[in-house]
Structure 1
Amino acid sequence: MNIHFIAIGGAAMHNLAITLKQKGYRVTGSDDEIVEPSKSRLEKHGLLPETFGWDVNRITTGLDAVILGMHAREDNPELAKAKELGIKIYSYPEFLYEQTKNKTRVVIGGSHGKTTITSMIMHVLKENNVDFDYMVGAQIEGFETMVRLSESAKIAVFEGDEYLSSPIDRRPKFHLYQPQIGLLSGIAWDHINVFPTFDNYVEQFREFARLMPNNAHLIYFDGDENLRKIASENASRLKVTGYNEHAADVTEGQTQLVIANGKHIGLTVFGRHNLQNISGAHIICQQLGVTDEDFYRSIATFSGAARRLEKLAETNNMTIFRDFAHSPSKLKATVEAVKQQFPDRKLTAVMELHTFSSLKKEFLPLYKNSMEKADEAFVYFSPHTIEHKKLEPITSEQVKEAFGREDLQVFTDSDQLFSVLKNLPHNNQNLLLMSSGTFSGKDLPDFAKSLTEE
């Protein structure tokens, strides 16, 4: 097949392009901007466009399909040419479904935890030599790409994002997969630019369950009231199973699962949210034929997905973590996890307001008390990012009031923030850096290394 990607530089898009080339397809692509790591990875596989920008001459009748990324605009000239020529146009979730419609599809959705749960399942399946396809939203140790599509696998495991599929397909991505096994980890309002009310946001998860085929298996976190309602509404049509936090102990800075007969299994990951994630992953792995013994043996070696409580550097007296946390629920869970794991260490938590929702003044009050477990708390936002997203300006005072901490320090200059962080005491200290961005271009691994090598 000849496939052309419009906006090939996206995280999911470039991974899909690579896996399709590995599958033997002829793949081309275009984008007006491609940044790292997409740029280097596309170049490595011979897929980096020779020039950036849109060129209608790339769209010909020789193409079997075009895959349209969310980064492209509705008036994209290549898209217009593809429509004119009658070429089949897919969003990437639509294409993933098309490639796996005859397989057992497992989809993990939810406002938080979906990347980690998907990663846990992938790790366990790989450790137990199960052949499977996948799509996940982060780089995972042991997996070269974030997408795999094969002829051999009978199972496909997808992270189910609730954001829109493409500029011309306004359906949430996870509505397109129609899984035989679906998991919902929790609902906490996000993507305010697309889902203007919480009720509207909840409705997307209700629709996910409605679109599951009859007799499919819906697995849900039982601690979420809205998910309990959704499960109840579908109980006559679907098999429904609730899960809660896995039993565990924390001993000398290590979390250990408590399983049958009081046996303990040591973990690399930690936090109540990860104990919930493990419970959900366990049920799915059981459904896919993995025994309890094999699951626990495998989960003990799971080290986490990139940017999910990722350990950047450490000494005997200090550890620096990076996390993707940006929404209020993710922020609160991550801060509490680190403090619970290291109760005797001072915790300095640093968060960047970067997403569309987090920079909206109407959304800011949802962050109240989300950093209360940190001993010291910093928030950074870039006025330039607000201007770029064409949002109404916010002030440091509004941010401080929204978070509800008198001692919160708010920065709009990342150089100034990192100068302060550089001078933190390094004894009996943990530093937690949280953002879906980069704190305006900071190299966080390099910064963490500089702190621990002094």
Structure 2
Amino acid sequence: MNVHFIAIGGAAMHNLAIALHNKGYQVTGSDDTIFEPSKSRLQAKGLLPEAFGWFPEKITSQLDAIVLGMHAKEDNPELLKAQELGLKIYSYPEFLYEQSKDKTRVVIGGSHGKTTITSMILHVMHYHDMEVDYMVGAQLEGFDVMVKLTDDNDFIVLEGDEYLSSPIDRRPKFHLYQPNIALLSGIAWDHINVFPTYENYVEQFQIFVDSIVKGGSITYNAEDPEVVRVVEASENTIRKLPYQTPEYTVEDGETLLETSEGELPIEVFGAHNLNNLAGAKWICQHMGIDEDDFYEAISTFKGASKRLEKIAVGKSSVAYKDFAHSPSKVEATTKAVKDQYPDRKLVACLELHTYSSLNAEFLKQYEGALDAADVAVVFYSPHAVEIKKLDEVTHEQIKQAFNREDLTIFTNPEDFKTDLFSRNLENSALLLMSSGNYGGLDFDEVKGLIE
């Protein structure tokens, strides 16, 4: 099968391209720019385009399928040529469904926790040598790729993102997978550039629950009132299976999970991650892993990349980085680190980097999000606000939004770095939350701060 990727360099797109190449497909692609690590990974497989740009001459009737990435525009020259030739054009999720329509599809949805839950499930499967196909949004320890597709495996585990499918398909990705087994971890308004109202955002999850195959199941977080409302209101003929945070204790910086066999030390921590673990356990049981085998495997799970990832540890201090950017994630992550290290000073740094977080109206959602921190720092780039064509955000607006008088705010990367590197982090926990890098911060240098 000959498949061409328009915008092959995206995080999801290049992983799918590699998965198809590994499956034996003929894969080509184009993009106007490709960053690391996509560039090196495509190059290693011989899939890196010879030149950056869009080349309509690459689009011929010999192609069996086009996969269109979100980075492309509706007037993309290659897309227009493909439409002119009447070629089959798939969005990323449509193509994944096409590859998995004869498998049992397990889809993990939710505003937060979906990458971690998907990663936990895959870790447990890998630990017990159970081969499954998958798509996950983070690089996992022990896994070479973020997408795996075969003809043989019975299950495919998919991280169900609510963001849009492609420039010409405005449906959220997770509406297209038609799960047999689904999970819903939480609903907290996000992506306001696409879902301008809370009601509009929640509606996408209602559609997701209704898209589950009849006779299938939804495992859902019973501690999230909106999730409960959405699931219980659905008239879809599916099994509805609630889960909640298990009992656990924290002793000397170690989290102990209560099980029927006694206390089990685990590597991940925080109430939100224990809640994620409970959801992952039920999904693994649906897939044939019994409870004891799940606990044995999950005790060795260290977390998904950039999700409460420990980057340095010293005698009296520790540093974590986390992808958290939406208000609910920031609040849960900050609280998790404080609960894990109650006797240490928590220095929490947040970069406002996404469209939603830099929107003056949406900022109000962050009230109280950093309250668990002893020292709270916010960094944002006025240039990023400009690029996203948003109204200017002032220091005063940010301070009011977080409702924290002692909040320190930086807009210059060098000033932020100078402040961070001048801090005494003895007997401290440092938490760096961002989907960016604070204007060029080298995380390896940060490790030198930890004693």
By how many angstroms is 1:236 displaced? Answer: 6.3
By how many angstroms is 1:64 displaced? Answer: 0.6
Identity %, equivalent residues: 57
By how many angstroms is 1:133 displaced? Answer: 0.3
Q: Quote the residue 2:447 is aligned against.
A: 449
Contact in 1 for aligned 2:113/2:185 (Cα 8 Å): yes
Q: Within 5 Å, which residues of 2 pair with 1:49-88?
A: 49-88=49-88
- Separation of aligned partners in 2, 1:206 and 1:417: 42
Q: Quote the residue 1:248 is aligned against.
A: 248
By how many angstroms is 1:447 displaced? Answer: 2.2
- Separation of aligned partners in 2, 1:219 and 1:158: 15
Amino acid at match of 2:78: E
- Separation of aligned partners in 1, 2:174 and 2:445: 36
- Separation of aligned partners in 2, 1:229 and 1:365: 24
Q: Name the SS for the 1:399 alignment partner.
A: helix
Q: Quote the residue 1:4 is aligned against.
A: 4
Contact in 1 for aligned 2:118/2:158 (Cα 8 Å): yes
Q: Quote the residue 1:381 is aligned against.
A: 380
Q: Within 5 Å, which residues of 2 pair with 1:39-438?
A: 39-234=39-234, 237-261=237-261, 263-438=262-437
- Separation of aligned partners in 1, 2:258 and 2:38: 40
Deviations 1:199-241 (A, max 9, x none): 1100000000111111110111001112112221236611001
Contact in 1 for aligned 2:42/2:48 (Cα 8 Å): yes
Amino acid at match of 2:205: F
- Separation of aligned partners in 2, 1:336 and 1:15: 33
- Separation of aligned partners in 1, 2:299 and 2:235: 33
Unpaired runs of at least 5, structure 1: none
Contact in 1 for aligned 2:18/2:42 (Cα 8 Å): yes
Amino acid at match of 1:72: A
Q: Name the SS for the 1:219 alignment partner.
A: strand
By how many angstroms is 1:452 displaced? Answer: 3.2
Contact in 2 for aligned 1:346/1:428 (Cα 8 Å): yes
Q: Name the SS for the 1:347 alignment partner.
A: strand
TM-score under structure 2 length normalisation: 0.99
- Separation of aligned partners in 2, 1:366 and 1:230: 21
Contact in 1 for aligned 2:322/2:431 (Cα 8 Å): yes
Amino acid at match of 1:268: E
Contact in 2 for aligned 1:179/1:213 (Cα 8 Å): yes
- Separation of aligned partners in 2, 1:359 and 1:383: 9
- Separation of aligned partners in 2, 1:344 and 1:368: 24
Amino acid at match of 2:41: R
Contact in 2 for aligned 1:133/1:150 (Cα 8 Å): yes
Q: Name the SS for the 1:35 alignment partner.
A: coil
Figure out how many residues of one structure are paired with residues of the other and give that number.
451
- Separation of aligned partners in 1, 2:251 and 2:447: 27
Contact in 2 for aligned 1:382/1:412 (Cα 8 Å): yes
Q: Name the SS for the 1:178 alignment partner.
A: coil
Q: Name the SS for the 1:81 alignment partner.
A: helix
Amino acid at match of 2:321: R
- Separation of aligned partners in 2, 1:93 and 1:201: 19
By how many angstroms is 1:391 displaced? Answer: 1.2
Deviations 1:111-145 (A, max 9, x none): 00000000000000111111100000011101111
- Separation of aligned partners in 1, 2:366 and 2:140: 29
> After TM superposition, what 4+ stretches of structure 1 lie above 6 angstroms from structure 2?
none
Amino acid at match of 1:419: T
Amino acid at match of 2:137: G
CA gap 1:123/1:352 in 2 versus in 1, 3 angstroms: same
- Separation of aligned partners in 2, 1:236 and 1:148: 30
Amino acid at match of 1:202: V
Amino acid at match of 2:377: F
Deviations 1:355-378 (A, max 9, x none): 010010010000000000100000
Amino acid at match of 1:204: Q
- Separation of aligned partners in 1, 2:57 and 2:384: 34
Amino acid at match of 1:15: N
Moved more, 418-427 or 167-176: 418-427
- Separation of aligned partners in 2, 1:66 and 1:236: 33
- Separation of aligned partners in 2, 1:246 and 1:443: 37
- Separation of aligned partners in 1, 2:404 and 2:58: 54
Contact in 2 for aligned 1:131/1:152 (Cα 8 Å): no
Contact in 1 for aligned 2:206/2:234 (Cα 8 Å): no
Contact in 2 for aligned 1:219/1:242 (Cα 8 Å): yes
Q: Name the SS for the 2:436 alignment partner.
A: coil
Amino acid at match of 1:276: N
